[in-house]
Structure formats: structure tokens, C-alpha cells
Structure 1
């Protein structure tokens, strides 16, 4: 009887081991990122734009969390005052087992068509691993540099720092016709 019980336990452990190995083995290329939790509030990035007067009420370094953001600042008005909208973002990096490997918060200079209406983006990073980014709000920053592009457009950037080192972060294209005309002359 004792041998029978031992044999059953060994059989059970072996079966569980094979099951675990089979479930956790990833013999294929990395999949597209899985849908992760979008911002809990499910608040969309506003499409309505503030008036020039409302926008001018936003001093440099104003932070507005996404859940409190009712309208987006008028970017042309900001640019004409040497300011720009930047986006607070939360990044999640996954490992080959689709587990969270690292997280960080940073500012980005623009959001493109890869982001959905909730400010959420999933993609495969340069390292081949899935990552997600969630816009969590905006910050008004001074424009540090305006770059002329080969296609005749102008791109703005702002200064940020990480671990005590300062660097420039590229923003979007200049949209103020007034500023574009001044830059071309």
C-alpha cells in the first residue's frame, strides 16, 4: 500500500511538472502585446480645445492629470508664448514571460496615431519585448529649441532631466501660422 501511495504521489508530481513546463514554455516568437489595464478612469483625452484666454491662464510647469483635463490647451497660443504641451506618461516593460520587468514615469513631447483615444499604446520595443504606455496628464513646458526639418516644417523640443542629466525631448511640429511665418523670415 505504501508503494502504491508513493507511486501515486510521484505520478501526480510528474504530471504537474509536465503541465507547468508545457504551459510556461514559449517556443514561438513573441506575440503582440496583450491588452493590459488602461487607465482606471477610462477618461478619453479631450478633443475640445481651450480658448486662447483659457490657455494663457496656464503658467509654465502647470500639471493637469488626465482625469481633471476637460479641454486641451490651444497649442498655437502656447507656441506664440514659447510654451508647449508635454504629456505625462507611465511606461510598463514586459519580459519574455509576459511579466512586468520594469515601470517608469516620464514626459513625452507628443502623442501620435499609435495612441488610442484614452492615451494608451501597446507595441513591441526595440528589444523585441512588449511595452505599453499610458498618458496620465499634461505639463506645460517652455520650448527650448525649434528645429527646421527637411520637409519645410519646424519641430519644437523641451528640456527634461533624468538622474541629474539634462537632455532635450522632441515634441511635435509647430502649428502656429504666426510663429511659422516668423521662423521662415
Structure 2
């Protein structure tokens, strides 16, 4: 009887996870390359290092690999087709340290994450078909915040589903 209950719980957990996993795989194959963000940072030994980030889509926060609050990127070059909004924290929260337009470069920053936004007049992310140029700036900011909140909620939901599976597999054996 316990095996049957476990199987039902397992099937239910899979039913919750598989639809979102399929969407993630589909997104990976259809994502476009926005270009490259180049950055420099100083490593633990004090040596200057270069790295790059190739964002897949707009309206997404990316952490600059090998950087931290203590060792931020100190030079950034935006070779993408999007605005690069630079932040001094890992969550793209608060006031932006700098905003770089496509082709711009800065050498006097200390940043660890970047949020990519479409250049004014372009469509957002995967494209909802609505140009944002007709929106007031406060409406755009509200929409951006709503998208960021939804992405954070989706992430937390996926973490909860993984915890459920971990508990399920732990109880099985």
C-alpha cells in the first residue's frame, strides 16, 4: 500500500515539473544571441583577468562570473544590441551603478551583475508583439518590476518542486 501511495505522489510531482522543464528546453533552442558583454576583474592573486558574457535574452539579470562584492568587475564593454544596466550586487536590485548603450564602455565601475533591456523602441524579451515606446516611463518600470517578480516566483516554485522530489526519493530509498 505504501508503494502505491509513493507512486501516486511521484507521478503528481512529475506532472508539476515536466511542463515547465519542457518550456525551458524549448526556450534554450529558440533563444537569440544578443551579442557579448566583455568585462575585466582582478582575481584573488591581484592579477587582472578578462571574461565575457553572452546573454540569451533581454529582461534577465546575469551575474558576472568570477566576480563578487569583494572582487567586482572594474571595466565593462557592451558589445550587445541591448542596454546593459550594471549593478553592484548579485540580484540586479536597487540603483544601477551605470547604464551602457550598445557599443559603450566604462572603466570606472565596481559591478557584479547586469540586467539587459531592449534599446528604446525595440520589443522586450521573447517579444509580446507590443512596442514599449507608447508606454510612459513609470508604466515601463512597473512592467519591468512585474516581470522580474514573476521570474523570481517561477524560480522559487521550481526550487519547491525539487525539494519535494528530494524528499520523495529520500523516503523511497
Normalised to the residue count of structure 2, the TM-score between the two structures is: 0.27
As a proportion of its length, which structure holds more strand? 1
TM-score by length of 1: 0.26
Question: Which structure shows the higher helix fraction?
Answer: 2
